Structure 1
Amino acid sequence: MLSLLRPLLAACLYLQLPGGQGRIPGYNNGFHYQDISNGNGNGEIYFNGVRLHVESPEPSVSATRGSSVTLPCHYHYEPELTTPRRTRVKWSWLPANTITAPASPEVFTRETEVMVAMGNRHRSYGNFRGRVRLRRSAPGDMSLVINELQLNDTGRYRCEVIDGLEDESVTVELELRGVVFPYYSQKGRYHFNFFGAQQACQDQDATLATFEQLFAAWEEGLDWCNAGWLADGTVQYPITVPRDGCGGVDLAAGLRSYGQRNRLLHSYDAFCFSASVKGTVYFLKHLTKLNFTEAVQACASDGSQIAKVGQLYAAWRLMGLDRCDAGWLADGSVRYPITKARANCGPPEPGVRSFGFPPLYLKFDVYCYR
């Protein structure tokens, strides 16, 4: 919108003063105005301002869950000012699940305010309250520092610097390093509507994966022939080896998409995204093995809690957990993580092996989280 207003602003600033009967006083907002006589007794004002530049050396930043991250943003003037100006900075955030187009002012109609600052005064908002600050390591540095990164902090952040009539911004993408995994209901395949899929991922210490996260997982070899919800409300699935029943052998490898589906009426599986956990996932072995109720109690007696699926996947991918022993997890499934494929431990590639959801009275060991 600002780009549309600038020509109008320039036209408004090029004003004629009738009969030279007065002069408009200079307006101190970072621009320079000059009063010039046109030789006909009429004064003219024209715009001759400095330009505000807002830049980021890193258009995207990757970090780990629970850590701190800095989103770089710097501003300067051309030509440089001899005296500093009072500027206002506003950081806004567009969550990853609402990004549907490249960065543009129109994209931020659904933005959430993160922080507003002017001089030494600042205010943070919502879930970012108390977790964000400006770095201010040098003049013009308005970089945003976010502490205790959470799963849902991913998305596109906009740094907007405002100086009077001048307003410039830059965007920075924030990604978390993690793992995407398919997830289905205890009732079987295709039992989640969109909101059920959201809740299912959340229950497993994860969040619905974005298209970018699923695409990256496909590039790393994820192959799954069951469609699942993504955070943007689309339904897709990744195929690395084309085959019958998964789009056909004649269709190239890639993400198969059903497009946007009705979030209430249509049912599919889910693709969840889990990032690193602060604690430790470990295998707890019992000589007599345990049913599900006993497994939950065994972890509690050990000062822990039974691990969730997202925690096991994160420990496997990000911490190298490798154990060729099946164990109960919090959702009633039985799984085990393999980082070094070997005989008698499932398929010939790394992964989290699943026994599905066996009857809760059967006996296994358990994976705990502390």
Structure 2
Amino acid sequence: MECKVETPFSFSLEDDTGAVIVQTAPGKVVTHRGGTITLPCRYHHEPEDVDPKRIRIKWTKVSDAFQFEDVFVALGRQQKAFGSYRGRVSLERAGPGDASVIIHNITLQDYGRYECEVTNDMEDDTGFVNLDLEGVVFPYYPPSGRYKLNYHQAEEVCRQQDAILASHAQLHKAWLEGLDWCNAGWLEDGSVQYPISHPRDQCGHKDSPPGVRNYGYRHKDDERYDAFCFTSNLNGHVYFLKRFKKVNYLEAVKACQRDNAVIAKVGQLYAAWKIQLLDRCEAGWVEDGSIRYPIINPRARCGGPEPGVRNLGFPDKKFRLYGVYSSESAQY
């Protein structure tokens, strides 16, 4: 099972009053897109002689905005999963008092905080489990230019590039790993932030300390910024399609199709760079019409001293000629 817990596994007591006591793991459990994970939760009764058929177990996903999404409920032998979790969630059933659930084929949208609630008639108790994904945060702006996206448009452009809007925790982690970006972008909670590792006057003030700058929560319809997207392990692999000549955008799309692949999305290229360690010093088309290339080992002729995915912008699709990055899908 592809699962790990970031702190040494032990159960923490959430509440020691009432007839039902729920215990969950500290820290967070970590997996990647396409993986399988167990969200740990146990309970016991006071007194202990309670009919198991009267125990109700409910799992709910809780967003930063305190919105609740039903995930799974079980009462005795009756079980039901909801929404996108249907067919992917089941009880672990590792013994008496086990309320843990197993989630298969993890998606980007599964990232977040989960509540485990156990009810015995009128008594209940809850615990929380944080599910994290291994992946990469990347800044994104569309061909129309900088600061053109309201919140809903930012959500959509991330989705189109095989990603979701990043959380504050994901952006903060990316900043700790060196992400430095001088343009503010939407996050999934509706806030607008940007990470600065090397303070300079054009990015606030050169005497300001490094950190994640925060504009706070902005109007989701009226205000416009860039986006910070998050993606995880990709289903397949990305590669630079070797050709004898460079091509325009339409020719690039067709070349990938002839190779039984599709032109790579921006999120897929970032995932290949971060997870598959793709290193290619050749500029190529990607799905949104931009020209990019991934660098693991920086060298002078490959665009600067830092690793990253280089972005050469959005050239004329018809007349400018480059290589192309293709994405070939695979089964997990």
> TM-score with structure 2 length normalisation?
0.90
Q: Select 1:129's aligned residue among 86, 111, 116.
A: 86
Identify the residue that residue 156 of structure 2 maps to in structure 1: 199
2:36 maps to 1:62: no
Question: Which residue of 1 is the match for residue 324 of structure 2?
Answer: 366
**What is the rounded CA distance, in whole Å, between the counterparts of 2:127 and 2:239 in structure 1?**
43
C-alpha distance in structure 1 between counterparts of 2:121 and 2:153, whole Å? 47
1:247 corresponds in structure 2 to 204
Query: Which digits, 9 at most, give the CA deviation of each residue in 1:61-82, with x for residues without a partner?
Result: 1110011111000111345438
Q: Tell me how far 1:264 sits from its aligned partner.
A: 1.3
Amino acid aligned to 2:145: G
Deviation at 1:138, TM superposition (A): 1.1
State whether residues 326 and 365 of structure 1, in contact with CA within 8 Å, keep that contact through their aligned partners in structure 2: yes
Maintained 8 Å contact 1:193/1:264: yes
Query: Counterpart amino acid of 1:152?
Result: Q
What pairs with 1:230-309 in structure 2 (closer than 5 Å)?
230-309=187-266
Taking the aligned partners of 1:85 and 1:67, their CA distance within structure 2 comes to: 31
> 2:130 matched to 1:173?
yes
Counterparts of 1:138 and 1:282, CA distance in 2 = 46
Match of 1:36 in 2: none
1:153-177 per-residue CA deviation (whole Å, 9 max, x = no partner) reads: 1111111000112101101011111
Mapping for residues 149-188 of structure 1, pairs under 5 Å: 149-188=106-145
Q: How does 1:310-329 map to 2 (within 5 A)?
A: 310-329=267-286
Distance in 2 between residues matched to 1:185 and 1:82, nearest whole Å: 58
- Tell me by how many angstroms 1:335 deviates: 0.5
In the TM superposition, residue 58 of structure 1 has moved relative to its aligned partner by 3.9
Q: What is the match of residue 222 of structure 1? A: 179
Gap runs ≥5 in structure 1 = 1-48, 101-106
Q: Secondary structure in 2 aligned to 1:285?
A: coil
Asked whether the 8 Å contact 1:58–1:72 carries over to 2, the reply is no
- Per the alignment, residue 43 of structure 1 pairs with none
User: 1:84 Cα shift?
Assistant: 5.3
Structure 1 pair 161–364 and aligned structure 2 pair: CA distance change class (3 A): same
Decide whether the 8 Å contact of 1:50 with 1:79 is kept in 2. Answer: no
Alpha-carbon distance between aligned partners in 2 of 1:238 and 1:330, rounded to the nearest angstrom? 26
Identity over aligned pairs, percent: 51
Gapped runs of 5+ residues in structure 2? Answer: 1-16
Q: 1:83 Cα deviation (Å)?
A: 6.8
Counterpart of 2:7 in structure 1 is none
Aligned to 1:250, the other structure's residue is in SS state: coil
Alpha-carbon distance between aligned partners in 1 of 2:289 and 2:52, rounded to the nearest angstrom:
62
Question: CA–CA distance in 2 between the matches of 1:333 and 1:82?
Answer: 62
What residue in structure 1 maps to residue 60 of structure 2? 92
Question: Is the alpha carbon distance of 1:307 and 1:85 closer, same or farther for their aligned partners in structure 2, counting shifts above 3 Å?
Answer: closer
RMSD over aligned Cα atoms: 1.5
Report deviation, 1:263.
1.2
Distance 1:249 1:115 in 2: 50
Hey, what's the Cα distance between the residues in 1 that align with 2:132 and 2:53? Answer: 34
Separation in structure 2 between the aligned mates of residue 249 and residue 58 of structure 1, nearest angstrom: 38
- Output the CA distance in 1 between the equivalents of 2:183 and 2:283: 24
* In 1, Cα distance between equivalents of 2:18 and 2:258: 68
Residue 214 and residue 50 in structure 1: after superposition, are their counterparts in 2 closer, same or farther (change >3 A)? Answer: closer
Aligned-partner Cα distance in 1 for 2:275–2:293: 15
Equivalent pairs, count: 311
- Residue type of the partner of 1:352? V
SS in structure 2 at match of 1:93: strand
Please give the alpha-carbon distance, in whole angstroms, between the structure 1 residues aligned to 2:143 and 2:18.
Answer: 63
1:203 & 1:278 partners in 2: Cα distance? 15
Q: Indicate conservation of the 8 Å contact 1:61/1:71, yes or no.
A: yes
Asked if structure 2 preserves the Cα contact closer than 8 Å seen for 1:281 and 1:312, the reply is: yes
1:96-119 CA-partner distances (Å, limit 9, x unpaired): xx315xxxxxx4xx2111111011
